[in-house]
Structure 1
Amino acid sequence: MLPPRNPDERLRARGADTRPDGRFEPHARMRESDGWDIPEDERLLRTEVVTERPRSIITRNTSPDISFDRSINPYRGCEHGCIYCYARPTHAWLGLSPGLDFETRITAKPDAASLLARELARPSYRPAPIALGTNTDPYQPVESKLAIMPGILRVLSDWNHPATLVTRGQTVLRDVALWAELAAKRMAAVGVSITTLDPSLARAMEPRAPAPATRLRMIRELAAAGVPVRVMVAPVIPVLTEPEIEAILTAARQAGATTASMIPLRLPLEVAPLFRDWLDRHRPGMAAHVMNRVQAMRGGRDNDPRFGHRFRGQGAEAQLALQRFRLARRRLGYHRESAPLDCSRFGPPPRAGDQLSLF
């Protein structure tokens, strides 16, 4: 059971409603009345940003069902506040709540570009596409002020290093020229996540993320600049967004997306109770139906974390959604896979005074 909301905090455009303790905390905290009913002024809960100075910026993984082996995340936490976000449990590692803390207490890594340049310069480094935004969105609202991403993209372009991006943040349009520069060398691909075309549902589920119409505009402008764009119909939520699979694919194709992917809803660890609480607050009449359908895709549980199953689901529910997606993708003329990115030109940028190559 989640703790009750703090009555002294006023929430505006937040996905979670409370701060459940993380799974590593030794004690659970609950609000209790002490009998002193002293009224306090309600304060608006605002986003706090702190900086982190890590020693490295490239994260490696060996997951058998993930297509990349390295990634960069310039931020911990995400102000978009998507209630279903699978990254929420990572805030527990910081001693913070995967609930409201995840979307209001953000950690930024302003030295990301210099760290990246240093790591690429190591003699032992071997290039492969770097995935950006695999945990939290690098183009979340705070990026418009901190501008960490342009530095990262300039380093990647200078070193002729390929990169992919997953985002729903409209600040990516600020960097269209940088993405187009990489794309012109076959070194960039961008994925834009669209969960629903219903602006009211999007506002409730993803309170500080751009509206669906804005995400379609992002696809349109990126594609017009020559950047290959994948529409990511993710997560597909039974009952709520699953009926929109074909509509989302159609709208994204018309906007210029050339590839598409789909992932059913995942509810790992602390995300499951947070999502259940959100359903009770925003869609109480549909809550039981949604969760019954989720469990039908997850072997009777809220979540199935097994490799090979977590991104696909199982059973008739999952297979039907996947079949609909594949039929629509083929009918609309999407490519099945993105073109491979070019790693062959990777190398240090020229320095002043260097002799130019003749070949």
Structure 2
Amino acid sequence: MAQSNLVRLAKRGDTIAIATLLNRAFHKHKVTVRVQLQGSCLKILLEGSPLPEQSQAIALIHQGMQRLQPERIHSIQVYGRRPGATRPLWTEALLLEGPDSPADREPELSLQPRAIEAKGMGALLTGCVLALILFALGPLRVLFHGFLILVHEIGHAVTHWLFGRPAIPSVNILFGGGITLVFGQSLWLIVLIYLGIAFLIYLCRSYPRLQGILVLLTLVYTVCLLTRTNTMLSTLMGHGMELVAIAVCLYCSTSGYFCRIPGDRAIYAMLGCFTLFSDVQFSWQLSHDADFRAWYEGGIGGMIDNDFVILANEYFGVDLSAIANVFLIGCLLAPTIAFLAFRYEAWWIRGISQLLKKQG
């Protein structure tokens, strides 16, 4: 049947036409689509192995049904199931926005917590086991420690650049590890940063909520720039970027985002877990191992203080173990934040959509 005829029938609520169009849309995913109409609710069953990502499947169905606006159908229940299974792997409910709804109304996805699918759980377990092996074997551990050094020094460099200090992350050839080469603060670079912020605020003129947040962040940035807070943050964000890497890697592994080839999710999990294990051991030793603490307090080559020593002595005036304990808490929070961001993804996506709502 011609596409135009199918679309016309689908708009009238014909379930066969809707099923045909959905099967064509999911053909490249090797997924079979079945539909059933119960009252004003259209039930859609996606069956395949492997199933596409839940978020991708829901987005594809929602966009297609919004364009069709089928008669008599006001809600959709979507089920994802593997062939031969008796229970769905996941379900999600959608409400269709009618043509007479306000123009600025957002599509209403049901705010349901996401569950980790079997593929994501397998990737997490595989990555965790690989990370334990790397962590236990000395030569491999040294090799992958380079990932931590890269993340750490990039954290320093990015923060220095944000506060007008050109910086280059590099390897410390003399004493091992990494070091960030920092140059003097540039007035021209700070002016360019403020011009960029002003242009971004101008682009967001149709989004008053987002514009307000940008103005508030600009004020916070200015306070940091005019006080010692900016140098403190530049020192802190070496290890801080390691915590960010833990959360981002575990989130990508759990959700499957930014994964293009088989094994990507396990690699993300391995890098996240390896960083987590290394940072937990580092903070624990700094608090409980006197020899390790003495070595760390000795600095780099006996000339340059390490980050936590600088933070403890110059900025917070506390014992080094206090900084180490706070970092340990951060290590435990990073995977928790990654899991919560995945599980309650619909909530924070809706929050972002509210920020991006146009005025009027």
TM-score range, shorter chain: under 0.3
Q: TM-score, normalised by structure 2?
A: 0.21
Q: TM-score, normalised by structure 1?
A: 0.21
Please tell me whether Structure 1 or Structure 2 has the larger radius of gyration of its CA atoms: 2
